[in-house]
């Protein structure tokens, strides 16, 4: 798989690319250069033109102007398949594979080894196994791809692309739903591929990861090229300034002391709450005006805890209380009735109704809570939608736009609005900032704090420990589907959380409250 090319001549050269959609100029004379063996981060806020640039390069969109060269040779792919033929492979955030087919079938889709017109399953599995072994993966390739974690699905997609002899690999937000360990595996693979001379374009919102893995950074803003820099010589503040074109407000935490929070009224409590094979019984108290963070690796039971608390999953033991009174939480309707709200991790599949308008999405939970016979009039709906579009700065500020056309950050705000409209007492937010650009990210965190100051109780899951430390009053750490540690006040820092996550089972079996 070694690639012999002149190191001086770039592997992928994009020059003067422009692309408009109607009156919207998505890209204006953008240049981009990828050298062989380089990991090149492509950064910018949502709407900066990253996706458009990738889609123009890979032939999904036709370009209005400009040229694309691969190893000095001009190419003009008209489809993703043609782009692959030219040596450009793309792995998107939502992996474009078929979850119901086996891993092996996905790897050899469209090119299964055949004999007499019959697919040679054994041969295919053997080759699939060998291919994945090259990426350090030893899994049952006959099992459906959907059974595996997103990380493995990503690696499968990359392996497929590499086996199709791609020279340019574009990874669009590959780490968005991976935990730390999985990110390490992916980075290992990326370094290995770069070592073989593959050029990798890395699109990500995680600046830490960008600094960890990339050699070079190209920043886009509003469809224009801002600049290309060596990662090593670009200070983080300078990078953020390039991306946002403005100074970021300070984002340090100023949470009140723990003792003050002990005095706050209890909003909801869970005693010995759990479900066999789902998450071990836990005790959890949620107070008004308090943010409780749930930290842990993917699969540690964070989302499971959130779903139990909201009522999306039925507990088979323990007691839930709201305002001191025992309650039954068996369905989301129960949760909604008790004033709970839940913004799930998977916005597209579990959150928004893409086809319906921003207005309809916002009023959905409130309407469900009020019941069929008390419909919100159109005027009331307009009023509510207008209020939250303004309050949360949802863009574009058009309540009648189908929500599926909004960016990820704005969809998240619509979901927040949906629950805020129900005047909840407890909001459960599962990865509220995932896949959201830097600007919206800071806004969501600001919102979390404001809501908390208004007396709302929040339970927030995040993979970003810095973020959790910033807004949490208490942090519950999970490991292997059990709550293993609770940190409060001054004890909340990234180091302590990491220590609790990494600690050996027996050492932290006690429920500690520092």
Residues that bind other proteins (CB under 8 A): 21-22, 24, 26, 51-52, 55, 60-61, 310, 312, 332-333, 335-337, 342, 344, 349-357, 360, 363-365, 367-376, 400, 404-407, 418
Q: Give least dist CB 55 to other proteins, A.
A: 8
Q: Give least dist CB 203 to other proteins, A.
A: 15
Supply the DSSP symbol for 246: S
Read off the tokens for 196: 């073989």
Burial class (CB in 10 A: 0-12, 13-18, 19+), 512: middle
Choice between 282 and 342, CB closer to other proteins: 342
Choice between 400 and 453, CB closer to other proteins: 400
Q: Give least dist CB 335 to other proteins, A.
A: 7
Distance CA 464, CA 216 (A): 24
Q: Give least dist CB 353 to other proteins, A.
A: 4
Exposure pattern of 98-132 as b/e (b: 16+ CB <10 Å)? Answer: eeeebbbbbbbeeebeeeeeeeeeeebbebbbebb
Distance CA 300, CA 320 (A): 22
Choice between 32 and 310, CB closer to other proteins: 310
Q: Give least dist CB 440 to other proteins, A.
A: 15
Q: Give least dist CB 288 to other proteins, A.
A: 22
Beta bridge partners of 430: 461
Choice between 359 and 483, CB closer to other proteins: 359
Q: How far is CA 314 from the centre of its chain?
A: 26
Beta bridge partners of 19: 27
Choice between 120 and 386, CB closer to other proteins: 386
Answer for the pair 459, 426: CB distance below 8 angstroms, yes or no: yes
Q: Give least dist CB 462 to other proteins, A.
A: 19
Choice between 129 and 307, CB closer to other proteins: 307
Choice between 144 and 402, CB closer to other proteins: 402
Answer for the pair 492, 472: CB distance below 8 angstroms, yes or no: yes
Answer for the pair 177, 346: CB distance below 8 angstroms, yes or no: no
Tell me how far CA of residue 148 lies from CA of 102, 153, 385, in angstroms. Answer: 10, 7, 39
Q: Give least dist CB 423 to other proteins, A.
A: 13
Q: Give least dist CB 334 to other proteins, A.
A: 9
Choice between 167 and 205, CB closer to other proteins: 205
Q: Give least dist CB 401 to other proteins, A.
A: 9
Backbone angles phi, psi at 394, to 5 degrees: -75, 130
Pair type for strands 168-172 and 199-203: parallel
Backbone angles phi, psi at 384, to 5 degrees: -60, -45
Backbone angles phi, psi at 186, to 5 degrees: -60, -45
Tell me how far CA of residue 145 lies from CA of 57, 136, 406, in angstroms. Answer: 28, 17, 29
Choice between 364 and 447, CB closer to other proteins: 364
Distance CA 244, CA 255 (A): 27
Choice between 197 and 341, CB closer to other proteins: 341
């Amino acid at each position: 798989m070694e690639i012999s090319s002149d190191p001086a001549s770039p592997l992928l050269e994009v020059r003067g690319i422009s692309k408009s959609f109607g009156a919207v100029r998505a890209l204006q004379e953008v240049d981009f250069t990828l050298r062989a063996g380089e990991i090149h981060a492509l950064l910018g806020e949502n709407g900066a033109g990253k996706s458009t640039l990738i889609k123009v390069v890979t032939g999904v969109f036709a370009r209005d102007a400009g040229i694309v060269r691969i190893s000095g040779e001009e190419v003009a792919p008209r489809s993703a398949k043609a782009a692959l033929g030219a040596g450009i492979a793309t792995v998107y955030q939502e992996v474009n594979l078929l979850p119901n087919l086996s891993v092996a079938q996905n790897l050899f889709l469209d090119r299964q080894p055949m004999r007499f017109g019959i697919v040679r399953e054994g041969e295919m599995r053997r080759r699939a196994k060998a291919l994945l072994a090259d990426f350090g993966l030893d899994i049952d390739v006959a099992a459906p791809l959907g059974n595996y974690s997103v990380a493995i699905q990503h690696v499968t997609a990359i392996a497929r692309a590499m086996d199709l002899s791609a020279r340019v690999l574009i990874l669009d937000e590959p780490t968005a739903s991976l935990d730390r360990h999985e990110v390490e595996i992916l980075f290992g693979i990326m370094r290995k591929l770069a070592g073989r001379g593959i050029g990798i374009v890395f699109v990500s919102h995680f600046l830490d990861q960008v600094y960890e893995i990339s050699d070079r950074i190209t920043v886009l803003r509003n469809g224009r090229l801002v600049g290309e820099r060596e990662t090593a010589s670009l200070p983080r503040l300078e990078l953020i300034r390039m991306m946002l074109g403005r100074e970021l407000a300070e984002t340090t935490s100023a949470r009140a002391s723990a003792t003050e929070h002990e005095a706050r009224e209890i909003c909801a409590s869970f005693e010995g709450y759990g479900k066999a094979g789902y998450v071990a019984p836990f005790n959890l108290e949620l107070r008004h005006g308090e943010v409780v963070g749930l930290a842990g690796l993917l699969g540690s039971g964070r989302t499971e805890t959130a779903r139990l608390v909201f009522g999306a999953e039925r507990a088979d033991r323990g007691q839930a209380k709201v305002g001191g009174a025992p309650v039954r939480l068996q369905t989301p309707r129960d949760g909604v009735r008790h004033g709970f709200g839940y913004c799930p991790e998977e916005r597209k599949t579990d959150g928004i109704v893409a086809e319906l308008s921003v207005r309809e999405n916002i009023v959905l939970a409130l309407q469900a809570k009020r019941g069929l016979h008390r419909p919100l009039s159109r005027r009331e709906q307009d009023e509510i939608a207008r209020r939250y579009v303004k309050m949360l700065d949802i863009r574009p500020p058009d309540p009648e736009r189908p929500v599926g056309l909004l960016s990820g950050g704005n969809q998240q705000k619509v979901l927040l609005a949906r629950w805020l409209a129900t005047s909840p007492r407890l909001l459960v937010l599962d990865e509220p900032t995932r896949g959201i650009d830097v600007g919206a990210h800071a806004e969501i965190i600001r919102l979390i704090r404001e809501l908390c100051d208004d007396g709302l109780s929040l339970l927030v899951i995040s993979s970003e420990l810095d973020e959790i430390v910033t807004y949490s009053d208490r942090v519950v750490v999970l490991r292997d589907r059990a709550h293993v540690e609770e940190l409060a006040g001054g004890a909340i820092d990234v180091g302590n959380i990491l220590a609790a996550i990494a600690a050996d089972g027996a050492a932290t079996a006690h429920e500690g409250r520092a």
